[in-house]
Amino acid sequence: MEENSHIRILLAEDSRVIRNMEVETLNDIGYTNVITAENGQEAIQKITEEKETTLIISDWNMPDLDGYEFLMWVRSQEKYNKIPFIMATAHGERRQAAKAVKAGVTEFITKPFSGSELKNVIEKALGIKEKAVPDLSEKARRSHMTCSGKVRIAVAHIQITDHIILGVLKSMIMIDSPKHFELETLCMSSWNPVQDALEKGDADAAFMLAPIAMDLFRAGVDIKLLLLTHKNGSVCIKKKNGRSPSDSRDFFRGRTLYIPHILSVHHMLSDMFLREIGLNPGLVGNEDVNVFFEVVPPIQMPEFMGKSPRSGGFMVAEPMGAISISEGSGELLYTSGQLWENHPCCVLAMRNDFLEVYNEAVQEFVDLLIQAGQFVANNPGASSRIAMDFLDPARNMGLNLSVLEKILKNPMGIKTNDLFPVMKDLDIMQTYMSNEMGIGTLIDLEKFMDTSFAERSLGKSEFSGNPSIFHGPENITADILIRQADKFRPKDSSNKAEKILADSGTSRRIFEIMETESSITIKSSSEIRAIKRILRETFEFIEQFGIEIWPELRKVLEQLLINAIEHGNKSSIEKTIRYEITMIQNNLFKITVEDQGEGFDYQNLMLSTSKDLQNERHGFGIIRSFCEHIEFNEKGNRITIHMKTSHETGFDVKDEKGWKIITPSGSITASTVDRLKKLLSELAESKHAKYHFDFAKVEDIDSISLTVFVIFVKMLARLEIDAQLEITNSNDNLKNLFSMTRLDKYYMIF
């Protein structure tokens, strides 16, 4: 790389960690002659001391003298007013850029930025590279039609689990290609290139933060919001410091909290939480601010938190939080869903000039994204394996399969099976950010949103979506802080006891935990939201034995707890439920749930057919399907079940009446794919014509294994075998998967 040592750059940045990172970035792109300043006042001192300064790069928000004031000073000095000035700032709003341009800034770059972005801006500021004049003529625009006659849809995204449905869709269409479009995914380093690509037309659509999409629309970029890409899915991570965090106000005071963008729900929810505990959050340089937001690329947040002594933590989409926790540098403070349950975050935004021309392709794209969302919700194991390749193909993020699977299985985590955009939710977001934080101005959401594609996909002409539940920080802050403090209470190795009593209006919420080496017992008030915490405590208890959480357990526990709270105690907060799970053997657990209700006629329930079960207790069919043993007490207000963990995958093959009967068991995943390939290759070489796959014992199957089943069909075709193929006894999730991936084109599904 050419070294530009003759170019002397003055870099003003108050954050030591970010300043060092930016110096390193400048060195990497060939600019090694760099002097630094911590604020505008020191920058003025440095520029007057230096013989010559070629270029200034300054942060906007700095103490003493901020970047805007420094820019005004530079432009007022005859000796320095010709020096190119790049404003690097966390402000993502277009109105901030306009303010800087009016003051005489040469170029403007939004944090976080990559080396290539910075190099491009520097070359434009120095006149090395001419500023591009967009050619919007039809001839100059990128061709969308492929040689197959289909439309190419280029979609920009970044490396977060919030965008997992795009990866799942990409995997699905490897098996069966769409009728109207081909998919091109553009993985980018941060939000800036994503919005840049959408604005310039380098991308036809983008998975992006809703407030960024709103800001583009506000600035006149002709885009439409078509769909949510997920709900929930973000976490606030507190830096681990080895001492009690019970006074979070003192811990965060004077520290920095990293966020992915100023225009984000992460910024909004962090602002709410910090204000609730008595702090005044904001950007450096703002008056009376005592905890500081700093914008950092999501994939660098764990590293930045570890390096900066003044960092308090970060709030961002997974998997960054899970990586930080697994590395031991951070701990969970709260999930975004605890503050705002089922909130919007990232959206699918598309250029209007594209969707108006390629309507059929857009409709099919939306249809398949919704199906991909259902797949993620129903198949977290398979989805996590897809996500590994989609989000971290170079394996440099530190992801592992178990981390991703835990993220997708977390009951308070990302939700992908409810993607219809609700106008009221987006209005909550823009109203709070505009009125309470002074960020952005309100837009006309009716003009910004186009839900017609989602409506057609869901088969509903009038569909308003499922609105979120806004708990607000005041309702959960006490619980969060108590949970954090509990981690630092002395624990006996054989017995852990915990008791929480919290005011809730005129009632008192109860949550008591008693844990031994082989069991955990919980007493809780009858609140549906308590289920999420009970599940979390249960999963932590089970995982200490080295056992991964299996999907059927979550389903059974949810149904047991819902029944006790809603049917048994009629959701009365005055009544409690008692829950206990005990490890009996290595793969066998006993679970008991008892309510304080009047009980019911469980004998009739046990004799009911599956069609009758919905008229009795919710989900009992699920409970009965997955449990080894079920018993009730005489009154009918206590149920005890025995449940086994998942079994190792196996493949049993036998001949029966001219058919090859193949009976897999367990989960068919990447870890077993070589065995599956070998088995199917041997079967194909035997030139048998009838194959029956019995999936009664199959728990899950991933995309790689599905592809092997398609390859098997092609093997038989190459051998000119007119084969009969069928799959029977699949569970509903697998049947949905086969339908979504078009496997039912090749196999009869029963």
Residues 291, 236 contacting (CB under 8 angstroms): no
194-218 burial, b at 16+ Cβ within 10 Å, e below that, comes to: bbbbbbebebbbbbbbbbbbbbbbb
Low-confidence spans in the chain with pLDDT less than 70: 1-3, 90-95, 129-143, 242-247, 285, 395, 397-398, 460-465, 472, 474-509, 546, 548, 550-551, 586, 602-622, 625, 645-649, 670-671, 703
State how far the Cα of 692 lies from the Cα of 727, in Å rounded to an integer: 6
Sorted by sequence, the CB contacts under 8 Å of residue 395 that are 6+ apart come out as none
**Contact (Cβ atoms closer than 8 angstroms) between residue 74 and residue 56:** yes
3-state secondary structure (DSSP) of residue 157:
strand
User: Of the candidates 343, 471, 336, which has an alpha carbon nearest to the alpha carbon of residue 407?
Assistant: 336
According to the model, what pLDDT value does residue 489 have? 46
pLDDT at residue 91, as a whole number: 63
Question: Measured between alpha carbons, how far is 657 from 652 in angstroms, rounded to an integer?
Answer: 16
| Contacts of residue 242, Cβ cutoff 8 Å, sequence gap at least 6 | none
- Give the list of residues 6+ apart from residue 119 with CB closer than 8 angstroms, or none: 29, 30
The answer to whether 746 and 725 have CB atoms below 8 angstroms apart is yes
**Residues 706-712: contacts with CB within 8 Å, 24+ apart?**
706/175, 706/737, 706/741, 706/743, 707/174, 707/175, 708/673, 708/676, 708/677, 708/680, 709/680, 709/743, 709/746, 709/747, 710/175, 710/743, 710/746, 711/677, 711/680, 712/680, 712/683, 712/684
427 — phi, psi (to 5°)? -70, -35
Which residues, listed in sequence order, are joined to residue 656 by a DSSP beta bridge? 659
pLDDT in tens, 403-423: 788 888 887 789 999 999 999
CB of 165 within 8 A of CB of 373? yes
Are 301 and 234 within 8 A, CB to CB? no
Query: 346 near 208, Cβ under 8 Å?
Result: yes
Instruction: Check if the beta carbon of residue 323 is closer than 8 Å to that of residue 287.
Output: no
Q: In what order do the strands lie in the sheet with 588-594?
A: 495-504, 507-516, 519-525, 576-585, 588-594, 638-644, 629-632
Res 92: pLDDT: 58
Cα-Cα-Cα-Cα torsion 471, 473, 479, 482, nearest 10 degrees, comes to 170
Task: Tokens for 306, please give them.
Answer: 């570890």
Please tell me the predicted confidence (pLDDT) of residue 630: 87
Edge-to-edge strand list for the sheet holding 330-335? 281-282, 291-295, 256-259, 311-317, 234-239, 330-335
| 8 Å CB contact between 529 and 404 | no
Tell me the C-alpha distance between 440 and 252, whole Å. Answer: 26
Report the residue count for the chain. 750
pTM for this one?
A: 0.63
With a CB cutoff of 8 Å and minimum separation 6, the contacts of 273 are: 236, 334, 339, 473, 477
Beta strands 690-694 and 659-668, pairing class: parallel
**Closest among 337, 479, 321, 477 to 413, alpha carbons compared:** 337
Cβ atoms 697, 666 nearer than 8 A: yes
pLDDT on residue 402: 77
Its sign, for the CA torsion 415, 416, 418, 423, is: positive
Cα-based distances in Å from 110 to 18, 193, 294, 298, 443: 14, 10, 12, 15, 22
Strands (E), 26-80: 34-37, 55-59
Which residues are within 8 A (CB) of 85 and not within 5 positions of it... i.e. 6 or more apart?
55, 56, 58, 71, 74, 75, 104, 105, 106, 107, 125
DSSP reduced 3-state for 543: helix
Q: Which residues pair with 632 in a beta bridge?
A: 639
Contact 745, 710 (CB under 8 A): no
Positive or negative: CA dihedral 339, 342, 346, 350:
negative
Domains and CATH numbers, the chain: 9-125 (3.40.50.2300), 151-232+344-469 (3.40.190.10), 234-341 (3.40.190.10), 490-644 (3.30.565.10), 650-749 (3.30.750.24)
Residue 693 · residue 662 · CB < 8 Å: yes
Tokens, residue 249? 């106000």
